[in-house]
């Protein structure tokens, strides 16, 4: 028996099992091929060539949806959306007519992974970018994907696109993002999939110590790094959006709900009400995914009705801290009708 429970047979946003006595460890061996302006890995940035496959339920995929919207890459990079639930084999395109992605012509994302590597041994994860002409997954390295959206896809950014990864702030963004990933983004999973009381206690304490640190950091500054929205904010937001609906109860992260942190709750609402964030957040799919897929944690698969979501659209007062959400840029236009979150899945 392995000494650690690893997320190497499931998907990027869930562990496949809880191993008694084990500490949850995420498998981070992703397909590292990059799509770059110079095409040095064999995949040059080209409009219309690639398809982003994501799921609104998944926090790691939600990052790519936000960045794509903020930067205005919709015309250059098409979007395929998987449903909120899946089996052990793969995410599926059950939201599409006939359960088939209309561009890739496949029922399971697994098919695109196997086109790249027939014996692909790891989890079939979202987000993934697929090369449409060959049907092969190019990359599923979610952390690098959003950075490359900012730095390699610049030829296709919309007019007024914000700089989410400004060169002068990159070292600080990277430092903050790593702390957030270790203790918060992944920290909630270390709580939820801990295999023993001591592993859970350690993960719990580490998570809330970091949330307290973030609360202090955001009390007197509007954004995590600098005075505009950056990659660091995109990475934190997707965990905060899922905190009260899922992580507080389902993953036993229950010292305090998000709403008990004045600065963090105000910060989360500020981002949610910013175009690109709330309009890519689907609370219904988020809850369906975690409570239905994680049968080891929730064997009845009952999806809770709460929490009440109207607070997400209440005034946050964060404008008083200054800052400009898009810097010298502008907000993105409303989402396209075919990509809009259903109105009954959001308080917007």
Per-residue pLDDT reduced to its tens digit, 277-299: 999 999 999 999 999 999 999 99
- Whether the CA torsion 139, 142, 146, 148 is positive or negative: it is negative
Active-site amino acid positions: 58, 189
Phi then psi for 52, rounded to 5 degrees? -80, 125
Give the pLDDT mean for 253-260. Answer: 98
Give the pLDDT band of residue 20 (cuts 50, 70, 90): confident
Number of residues that make up the chain: 348
| Confidence label for 39 from pLDDT (cuts 50, 70 and 90) | very high
| Distance in angstroms (rounded) separating the CA atoms of residues 271 and 308 | 18
Interval 24-36: pLDDT, tens: 888 889 999 999 9
Question: Residue 8: what pLDDT?
Answer: 35
**pLDDT recorded at residue 23:** 85
- pLDDT for 231 beyond 70: yes
Tokens representing residue 50 in the block: 């690639």
Residue 25 is predicted with a pLDDT of: 86
What mean pLDDT is predicted for residues 151-155? Answer: 98
| Mean predicted confidence (pLDDT) in 123-131 | 97
Write down the pTM of the prediction.
0.95
Residue 19 has pLDDT above 80, yes or no: no
Percentage of the chain modeled with pLDDT above 90: 91
Torsion of CA 42, 46, 48, 53, to 10 degrees: 60
User: How far is residue 161's CA from residue 73's CA, in Å, rounded to a whole number?
Assistant: 10
Given pLDDT bands bounded at 50, 70 and 90, which one contains residue 334?
Answer: very high
Return the CATH architecture of domain 169-345: Up-down Bundle (1.20)
Instruction: Give per-residue pLDDT as tens, 70-118.
Output: 999 999 999 999 999 998 899 999 999 999 999 999 999 999 999 999 9
pLDDT tier at 17, thresholds 50, 70, 90: low
Looking at residue 3, its pLDDT comes to: 26
**Considering the chain, what is the average pLDDT of its residues?**
94
HEC assignment per residue over the chain: CCCEEECCCCCCCCCCCCCCCCEEECCCCCCCCCCECCCCCCCECCCCCEEEEECCCCHHHHHHHHHHHHHCCCCCCEEEECCCCECCCCEECCCCHHHCCCCCCCCECHHHHHHHCCCCCCCCCCCEEEECCCCEEEECCHHHHHHHHHHCCHHHCCCCCCCCCCHHHHHHHHHHHHHHHHHHHCHHHHHHCCCCHHHHHHHHHHHHHHHHHHHHHHHCCCCCCCCCCCHHHHHHHHHHHHHHHHHHHHCCCCCCCHHHCHHHHHHHHHHHCCCCCHHHCCHHHHHHHHHHHCCCCCCCCCCCCCCCCHHHHCCCCHHHHCCCCCCCCCCCCCCCHHHCCCHHHCCC
In this predicted model, what pLDDT tens digit does every residue of 183-230 receive, in sequence order?
Answer: 999 999 999 999 999 999 999 999 999 999 999 999 999 999 999 999
């Amino acid at each position: 028996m392995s000494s650690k429970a690893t997320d190497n047979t499931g998907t990027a946003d869930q562990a496949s099992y809880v191993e008694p006595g084990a500490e949850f460890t995420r498998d981070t061996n992703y397909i590292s091929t990059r799509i770059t302006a110079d095409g040095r890995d064999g995949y040059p940035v080209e409009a219309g060539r690639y398809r982003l496959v994501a799921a609104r339920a998944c926090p790691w995929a939600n990052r790519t949806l936000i960045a794509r919207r903020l930067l205005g890459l919709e015309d250059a990079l098409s979007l395929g959306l998987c449903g909120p639930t899946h089996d052990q084999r793969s995410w599926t395109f059950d939201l599409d007519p006939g359960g088939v992605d209309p561009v890739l012509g496949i029922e399971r994302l697994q098919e695109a992974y196997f086109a790249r590597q027939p014996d692909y041994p790891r989890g079939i994860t979202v987000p993934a970018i697929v090369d449409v002409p060959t049907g092969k997954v190019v990359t599923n390295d979610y952390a690098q994907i959003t950075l490359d959206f900012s730095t390699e896809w610049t030829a296709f950014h919309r007019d007024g696109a914000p700089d989410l990864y400004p060169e002068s702030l990159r070292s600080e963004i990277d430092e903050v993002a790593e702390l957030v990933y270790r203790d918060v983004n992944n920290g909630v999973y270390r709580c939820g999939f801990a295999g023993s009381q001591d592993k859970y206690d350690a993960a719990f304490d580490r998570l809330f110590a970091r949330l307290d640190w973030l609360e202090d950091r955001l009390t007197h500054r509007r954004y995590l790094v600098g005075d505009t929205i950056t990659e660091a904010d995109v990475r934190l937001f997707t965990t905060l959006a899922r905190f009260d609906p899922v992580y507080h109860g389902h993953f036993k992260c229950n010292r305090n709900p998000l709403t008990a942190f004045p600065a963090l709750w105000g910060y989360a609402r500020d981002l949610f009400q910013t175009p690109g964030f709330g309009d890519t957040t689907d609370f219904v799919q988020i809850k369906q995914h975690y409570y239905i897929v994680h049968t080891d944690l929730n064997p009845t698969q009952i999806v809770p009705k709460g929490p009440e979501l109207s607070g997400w659209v209440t005034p946050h007062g964060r404008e008083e801290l200054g800052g400009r959400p898009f810097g010298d840029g502008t907000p993105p236009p409303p989402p396209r009708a075919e990509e809009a979150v259903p109105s009954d899945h959001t308080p917007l």
